[in-house]
């Protein structure tokens, strides 16, 4: 084999990360399965092997940033053990706090340094030079050539950070015992199928599997292959095709397109982000099944949702439930607002006021906060209403900030929080609340899809003003007269888009029957399905495979 080619396969290549959509990944996975078949019966060797394989996978994806992964692994392994062995409650709480703070500091440094620096500059005029200290150390110690003038976000850091936090918290709550050794814990943190884009796997869900014997039935193997093929087709046939054929062009230069075209791009982006992200997790779940592990379900047909609340019970389930159990409930849930809740709201209001620099906005926010405080003090009804909704809003805003360090994501999270609060109060008096009637469900589905789609303008646009400009185009310059011409000239895009939504809306029982049929198929049928899927992917594959959207988070 050519030494240059071998070096390229074994070393990190910045422009060629290891992705599910690359031929190289499937060669890599084939080799992993081959070696795995010789040791899967011995759990300790199996776990060590998969840990080392996962580190290599992350190195090929992020280079020497895998040292950050190792740092989180070592820190939380020893903190978790200390929490379990310690019997003094305040010391155990301090150790949990230490785990949370250390993990969030690392996440904050790599993800939010520029956001904080920009805020300080807008507030004080002091310009802070942000540089990648980690890259400087690595260059000096290992002779690498990483760019240190700019902090690059390590792939998957938001996902594995939440996993290590959940480990410490679950031990404190008594939901799980510490793992037996650091190699097993490293395997839990770094398991390569879900490492860089989820789903977020809790310690209480995964750690028991570390010590369970390998068990893979014929039906499970068939189901694993189904999920892999399903995910690849979602990603390449739906997500990438829609992006390349239409969506990216519109969002790159929205001023050149009519309101009808920008609206089409928004609905296309809703399908793209779903197909892209759920496609990744489908492949991850399928690979894990073949290796003998179960990952949590991450999507449940979210565009079938008949309300905003229903949508968030179906979308990115591993994050939604993580935020519920580790943020929303500790803040007080829907029962009461905690001191932390009110403090976060106060800081958030101050943050917005100072960033915008408007005296009128400062006055409005101050009046809103003061009025709310007085109303809660003298009215039990007002106190109950605020306490019921404050933590919901905070959770959605912080969930938005988890996705990215910009006001766009804060706005996106806040809008979804407002949508949840409005729905929660409206359903008490709504004459259309009865979801047993099909037309009520249909109306709810349409309204929810439109709301979710329009909020994605802030999710996709590079700037806050850009999102406003995209949405303003729709009512002011819709372009009714050219709509038919747009459809005719982009008919392939519209056929794929409509087909994607129609397939998404197929009743769940039929999808389950299809998965069952595939999982019970003979190996020859599965091989033919894989071959046919590969041919379809090859025919529609764009010249440039798009990176997975959630790699950026």
User: Which residues lie below 8 Å from residue 483, measured CB to CB, with a gap of 6+?
Assistant: 258, 260
Among candidate residues 155, 170, 235, the one with its CA nearest the CA of residue 207: 170
Among candidate residues 235, 193, 290, the one with its CA nearest the CA of residue 21: 235
| 8-state DSSP, 212 | S
* DSSP output for 352-420: HHHHHT-HHHHHHHHHHHHHHHHHHHH-HHHHHHHHHHHHHHHHHHHHHHHH-SSHHHHHHHHHHHHHH
What is the distance between the alpha carbons of residues 551 and 553, in angstroms, rounded to a whole number?
5
Please state, in angstroms and as integers, the Cα–Cα distance from residue 544 to each residue in 221, 252, 346, 456, 494, following that order: 31, 17, 46, 24, 21
Task: Identify the three-state secondary structure at position 465.
Answer: helix
Instruction: Find the Cα–Cα–Cα–Cα dihedral 387, 390, 395, 400, rounded to 10°.
Output: 170
User: Which residues lie below 8 Å from residue 186, measured CB to CB, with a gap of 6+?
Assistant: 51, 54, 55, 70, 73, 77
Task: Choose the catalytic residue: 42, 175, 403, 504.
Answer: 403
**Is the distance from CB of 290 to CB of 36 less than 8 angstroms?**
no
Q: How many CA atoms lie within 13 A of 370 on its CB side?
A: 6
**Is the distance from CB of 219 to CB of 519 less than 8 angstroms?**
yes
**Is the distance from CB of 347 to CB of 354 less than 8 angstroms?**
no
Please state, in angstroms and as integers, the Cα–Cα distance from residue 104 to each residue in 88, 115, 128, following that order: 25, 15, 21
Q: How many CA atoms lie within 13 A of 540 on its CB side?
A: 22
Token look-up 């390569």 returns 192
* DSSP output for 190-202: H-GGGTTT-----
Q: Is 316 a catalytic residue?
A: no
**Is the distance from CB of 111 to CB of 153 less than 8 angstroms?**
yes
Positions of E strands within 177-299: none
What is the distance between the alpha carbons of residues 553 and 549, in angstroms, rounded to a whole number?
8
- Angle, helices 259-290/464-476, rounded to nearest 10 degrees: 130
Token look-up 């399905």 returns 529
| 8-state DSSP, 333 | T
**Is the distance from CB of 423 to CB of 403 less than 8 angstroms?**
no
Token look-up 């372009």 returns 479
**Is the distance from CB of 284 to CB of 318 less than 8 angstroms?**
no
- Give the residue numbers marked as catalytic: 403
């Amino acid at each position: 084999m050519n030494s240059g080619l071998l070096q390229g396969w074994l070393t990190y290549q910045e422009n060629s990360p290891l992705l599910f959509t690359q031929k190289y990944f499937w060669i890599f996975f084939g080799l992993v399965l081959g070696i795995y078949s010789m040791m899967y019966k011995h759990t300790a060797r199996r776990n060590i092997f998969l840990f080392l394989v996962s580190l290599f996978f992350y190195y090929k994806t992020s280079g020497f940033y895998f040292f950050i992964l190792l740092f989180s692994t070592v820190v939380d392994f020893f903190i978790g053990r200390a929490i379990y062995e310690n019997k003094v409650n305040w010391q155990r709480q301090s150790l949990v706090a230490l785990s949370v703070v250390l993990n969030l500091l690392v996440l904050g440094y790599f993800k939010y340094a520029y956001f904080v620096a920009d805020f300080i500059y807008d507030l004080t005029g002091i310009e802070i030079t942000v540089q990648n200290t980690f890259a400087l150390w690595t260059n000096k110690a290992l002779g690498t050539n990483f760019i240190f003038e700019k902090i690059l976000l390590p792939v998957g850091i938001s996902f594995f950070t939440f996993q290590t936090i959940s480990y410490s918290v679950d031990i404190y709550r008594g939901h799980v015992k510490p793992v037996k050794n650091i190699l097993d814990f490293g395997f839990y943190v770094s398991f390569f199928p879900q490492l860089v884009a989820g789903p977020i796997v809790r310690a209480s869900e995964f750690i028991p599997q570390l010590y369970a014997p390998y068990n893979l039935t014929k039906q499970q193997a068939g189901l694993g292959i189904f999920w892999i093929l399903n995910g690849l087709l979602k990603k390449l046939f739906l997500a990438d095709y829609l992006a390349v054929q239409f969506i990216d062009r519109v969002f790159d230069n929205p001023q050149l397109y009519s309101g009808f075209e920008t609206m089409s791009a928004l609905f296309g982006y809703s399908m793209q982000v779903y197909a892209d992200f759920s496609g990744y997790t489908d492949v991850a779940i399928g690979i894990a099944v073949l290796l003998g592990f179960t990952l949590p379900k991450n999507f449940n047909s979210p565009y079938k949702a008949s309300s905003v609340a229903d949508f968030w019970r179906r979308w990115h389930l591993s994050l939604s439930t993580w935020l519920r159990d580790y943020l929303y409930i500790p803040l007080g849930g829907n029962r009461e607002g905690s001191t932390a809740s009110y403090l976060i709201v106060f800081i958030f209001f101050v943050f917005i006021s100072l960033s915008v620099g408007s005296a009128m906005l400062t006055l409005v926010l101050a009046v809103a906060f003061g009025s709310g405080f007085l109303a809660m003090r003298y009215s039990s009804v007002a106190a109950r209403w605020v306490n019921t909704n404050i933590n919901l809003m905070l959770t959605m805003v912080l969930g938005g900030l988890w996705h990215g360090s910009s006001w766009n994501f804060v706005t996106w999270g806040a809008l979804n929080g407002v949508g949840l609060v409005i729905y929660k109060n409206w359903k008490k008096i709504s004459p259309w609340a009865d979801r047993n009637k099909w037309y009520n469900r249909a109306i709810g589905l349409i309204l929810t899809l439109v709301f979710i789609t329009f909020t994605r303008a802030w999710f996709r646009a590079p700037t806050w003003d850009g999102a406003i400009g995209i949405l303003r185009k729709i009512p002011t310059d819709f372009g009714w007269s050219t709509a038919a011409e747009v459809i005719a000239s982009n008919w392939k895009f519209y056929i794929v888009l409509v087909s994607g939504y129609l397939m998404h809306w197929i009743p769940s029982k039929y999808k389950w029957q299809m998965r069952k049929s595939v999982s019970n198929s003979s190996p020859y049928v599965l091989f033919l399905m894989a071959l046919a899927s590969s041919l379809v992917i090859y025919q529609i594959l764009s010249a440039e495979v798009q990176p997975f959207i959630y790699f950026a988070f």
